[in-house]
Amino acid sequence: MNLYKLFIALSILLGLSSCNWLDLEPTDTTTETDLFKTGDGYRIALNGIYQQMSETDLYGQQLTWGLLDVLGQTYSSSFLGTAYYASANYKYTDNRVKPLVEAIWEKAYNSIANCNNIIQRIETESASLFEEGETEKNLIEGEALALRAYLHFDILRLFAPSMKKDDGKSYIPYVDTYPCTFQPYTTNNEVLKKAIADLKRAKDLVGPFDTADLKWMLTRYRFENDVRAGGGRTNLFLAYRGYRMNYFAICALLARVYNYAGMHKEAFDEASIVIEATGDSYGTLIFEPTSLSGLSDGNIKLYDELIFSLSNRDLWTNYKSYYVSTSDQLVLAERNTTDLFDSPIDMRGNAKLVKLESRKLFCLRNVEVGGTYATFVKDMIPMIRLGEMYYIRAEYYNSLKDIENAKSELDEFRSGYSCPPGMLTDDIESEIIKEVHREYLTEGQLFFYYKKFNHLPKKMQSDDSFVFPRPDSEDL
């Protein structure tokens, strides 16, 4: 059986599993057993998880530019179709919204099951099974652990109250076994503790590979693999580290989780690793704001500052109907760019990212574009950006009541997009929310920041609407 067929077969087998979303071990395990007989099989299984996460039910739409940005009031509800219009009013039990919410739970836990299958199997495998030996074995296990933490953390942020409203009750299970027959629900603190443990272990496993030669983390390799110069890694599984849970993506996610848990010093330290990372002897920063020339030449995803991204080759096609449609359009809530960008010289307010058409403002990040960088951006689903690391450091200073240093962190990042200093108020949480709106436009993070700070977005009447209802099947 060739590797393509093995991947399809594995997808079918694992796609059937649930607890209620994971089933018992499939009755016909021949194909799955064959898959994990080779190192290439583990590669296929891991790649399959990234692919699952990029589907429209998860980060390919609903958890980025779709449902989550509707809930964050990114769009004008006047132009939304029925499902998103009901979503914008937080009607989670509406029969048009309910399937979207349930699919997120089910698909996320299915991806977690696939992570667990890899983690449990690979622990007892000989390093000789893998082309790159112990290094590759550790890389696959570490990435699977990091993805397991990423998915659980987002389920927690959706289906449980924020830490500001934490009532100590149990809302979601942290599933770390395969197959799963029963997993008890746990508290916010327990989920965060387990996610942190997974990420620390993942950092130890992945770090030696990504930090051995940091040049491979620079933009021209991380996302482009230096194809224009004919260079880059020839082993594609080890290339394009920006599309994987690389070492710095794990540090950044750990900073995100620590921050959510209120562990601000720990979050600050992890964020600093990312901000200060250099890729050569000249001190070239690995992550930095995209230049105006890059933006003008098609880099509408601003991927020089992108730490981790998923890939969906159909992204432009999937988004197009919401851009050209007359009945279900994702029109930004603002009437013009000055309502969104506080500085007229902010590069992100450039017409390459947003555009006013027929008195309607659109974000162009997922719209087909030309230019040198079009090949790289067309499939990108941004997951973690550099700006968030500065927001996390600003929150650390804000927690110490050091408002000036908090504003300095925000200004430092904003300066990369030509924003002048001295424009921010002392209300750091509100300033961060406004900056997240600009930086993560149509990328799904705004809702999470409203929830974390317990700032109700327009149309939300109660903070109860920050919590998704679990699928009906979970109450059986």
CA distance 213 to 51: 27
Cβ-based neighbour number of residue 129 at 10 Å: 17
Instruction: Name residues of the chain where pLDDT drops below 70.
Output: 1-31, 181, 227-230, 475-476
Q: If you search the block for the tokens 């699919």, which residue do you land on? A: 103
Residue 419 has φ and ψ, to the nearest 5°, of -75, 130
Q: What's 332's DSSP letter? A: B
Query: Which token pair is 250?
Result: 């794990």
The residues, ordered by sequence, that sit 6+ positions from 243 with a Cβ below 8 Å of its Cβ are 50, 223, 308, 309, 310, 311
* Residue found by looking up tokens 């070492």 in the block: 247
Is the backbone peptide bond immediately before 344 cis, with ω within 30 degrees of 0? no
- Phi/psi of residue 76, each to 5°? -75, 120
Residue 112 to residue 63: CA distance in whole angstroms: 16
- Model pLDDT for residues 356-407, shown as the tens digit of each residue: 998 999 999 999 999 999 999 999 999 999 999 999 999 999 999 999 999 9
Which amino acid type is present at position 38? T
The predicted pLDDT at position 228 comes to 61
The pLDDT of residue 180 is 77
CATH for 3-173+184-311+377-460 (1.25.40.390, 1.10.10.60, 3.10.20.600, 3.20.20.80):
1.25.40.390
Residue 312 DSSP one-character state: -
Distance CA 104, CA 94 (A): 16
Report yes or no: 268 and 402 within 8 Å, Cβ to Cβ: no
Task: Establish whether the linkage from the previous residue to 350 is cis, with ω within 30° of 0.
Answer: no
463 secondary structure, DSSP code: G
Residue 3: per-residue pLDDT: 34
CA angle 303, 74, 267 (to 5 degrees): 55
pLDDT in tens, 424-436: 999 999 999 999 9
Count the Cβ atoms, other than its own, within 10 Å of residue 346. 18
Spell out the long-range contacts of 42-47 with Cβ–Cβ below 8 A and sequence spacing 24 or more: 42/118, 42/121, 42/122, 42/125, 42/129, 42/130, 42/140, 43/140, 43/237, 44/3, 44/6, 44/7, 44/10, 45/7, 45/10, 45/114, 45/117, 45/118, 46/118, 46/140, 46/143, 46/144, 47/7
Backbone angles phi, psi at 285, to 5 degrees: -65, 135
For the record, the structure tokens of 53 come out as 């996460």
Q: Any idea which residue has 């979601």 for tokens?
A: 172
Q: Residues 14, 31: contact at Cβ < 8 Å?
A: no
**In the block, which residue shows the tokens 């979050």?**
267
User: Cα separation of 160 and 166, whole Å?
Assistant: 8
- Using CB atoms within 10 A of its CB, is residue 4 exposed (0-12), middle (13-18) or buried (19+)? exposed
- pLDDT of the residue at 229: 58
CB of 376 within 8 A of CB of 224?
yes
- Hey, which residues does 75 pair with through a beta bridge? 332
Residue 22 has what pLDDT?
35
CA distances 27 to 13, 36, 66, Å, are: 9, 17, 36
Q: 3-state SS of 207-218?
A: HHHHHCCHHHHC
Residue 326 is given by DSSP the state S
Q: Residues near 128 by Cβ (< 8 Å), separated by ≥ 6?
A: none
Q: Where are the domains of the chain?
A: 3-173+184-311+377-460
Omega of the bond leading into 469 within 30 degrees of 0 (cis): no
Cα distance between residue 418 and residue 211, in whole Å: 31
